[in-house]
């Protein structure tokens, strides 16, 4: 176990990845920011079904994205699937927020690796000028990008999402918290969405969990 850190650097595939406590990954060599499982509109679809979820989650997420974009000035933003939560779209308030956000970063290319939740029409992504990649695996520099860890390329180092990994350290009194899950050939990103659940992972000997605790990172090796 290492101490609490502001960022964790991971060396794989001959390059460096920086894991950030905002649940994103920065690749300095390729100048790309990665996030996974944003699940935009999840709170809204709950509200439409009569389940009260407070408003404000979408704005928070977009603020975080903007802050990181200003900080790193990336060449591209890549979302590793599950960009929006549900296929219904009758009266979504979050769409206008997304469009406004997009307008404020209009020169930034945004790519989405299609996830199982991404069932919106082509118009939706077109309006947001998001490049939708429907392939299971997308090559990106030395990495392979995919949504689900089931689709990884064993010959490469993979970045993916889908799992919403979480890890708990009861000895330290830490409840299950979102974490990056790092194996020799794969890095699973935590879900970026504020209103998303967690799947608790168990670590094998070659794996690590880098969990997020109060805007800091704590690495636990299996």
The site for another protein (CB under 8 A) is made up of 42-57, 85-86, 91-93, 173, 175, 194-197
CB–CB of 113/146 below 8 Å?
yes
Measure the CA–CA gap between 7 and 48, rounded to whole angstroms: 38
CA distances (Å), origin 54, targets 45, 58, 97, 195: 12, 10, 16, 10
- Quote the least distance from Cβ 161 to another protein, whole Å: 17
Measure the CA–CA gap between 104 and 134, rounded to whole angstroms: 26
Complex with another protein: residue 74 or 92, whichever CB lies closer: 92
Complex with another protein: residue 32 or 84, whichever CB lies closer: 84
Measure the CA–CA gap between 63 and 58, rounded to whole angstroms: 9
Complex with another protein: residue 85 or 114, whichever CB lies closer: 85
User: What stretch of H or E contains 72?
Assistant: helix 57-72
Complex with another protein: residue 37 or 92, whichever CB lies closer: 92
Complex with another protein: residue 77 or 84, whichever CB lies closer: 84
- Quote the least distance from Cβ 52 to another protein, whole Å: 4
- Quote the least distance from Cβ 75 to another protein, whole Å: 32
Complex with another protein: residue 49 or 139, whichever CB lies closer: 49
- Quote the least distance from Cβ 87 to another protein, whole Å: 9
CB 1: neighbour CB atoms within 10 A?
Answer: 10
Q: List 186's β-bridge partners, or say none.
A: 158
Measure the CA–CA gap between 26 and 68, rounded to whole angstroms: 9
Tokens coding 17:
């990845």
- Quote the least distance from Cβ 64 to another protein, whole Å: 13
Radius of gyration of the chain (CA): 17
- Quote the least distance from Cβ 90 to another protein, whole Å: 9
């Amino acid at each position: 176990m290492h101490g609490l850190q502001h960022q964790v650097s991971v060396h794989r595939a001959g390059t460096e990845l920086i894991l950030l406590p905002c649940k994103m990954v920065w690749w300095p060599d390729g100048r790309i920011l990665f996030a996974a499982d944003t699940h935009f509109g999840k709170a809204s679809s709950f509200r439409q079904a009569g389940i009260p979820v407070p408003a404000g989650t979408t704005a928070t997420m977009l603020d975080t994205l903007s802050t990181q974009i200003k900080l790193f000035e990336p060449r591209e933003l890549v979302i590793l699937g599950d960009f929006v939560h549900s296929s219904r779209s009758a009266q979504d308030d979050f769409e206008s927020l997304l469009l406004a956000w997009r307008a404020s970063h209009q020169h930034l290319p945004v790519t989405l690796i299609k996830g199982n939740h991404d069932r919106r029409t082509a118009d939706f992504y077109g309006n947001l000028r998001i490049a939708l990649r429907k392939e299971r695996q997308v090559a990106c520099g030395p990495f392979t990008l995919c949504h689900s860890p089931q689709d990884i390329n064993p010959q490469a180092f993979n970045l993916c999402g889908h799992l919403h990994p979480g890890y708990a350290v009861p000895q330290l009194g830490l409840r299950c918290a979102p974490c990056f899950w790092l194996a020799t050939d794969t890095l699973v990103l935590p879900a970026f969405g504020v209103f998303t659940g967690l799947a608790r992972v168990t670590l094998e000997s070659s794996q690590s969990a880098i969990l997020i605790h109060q805007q800091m990172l704590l690495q636990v090796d299996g």
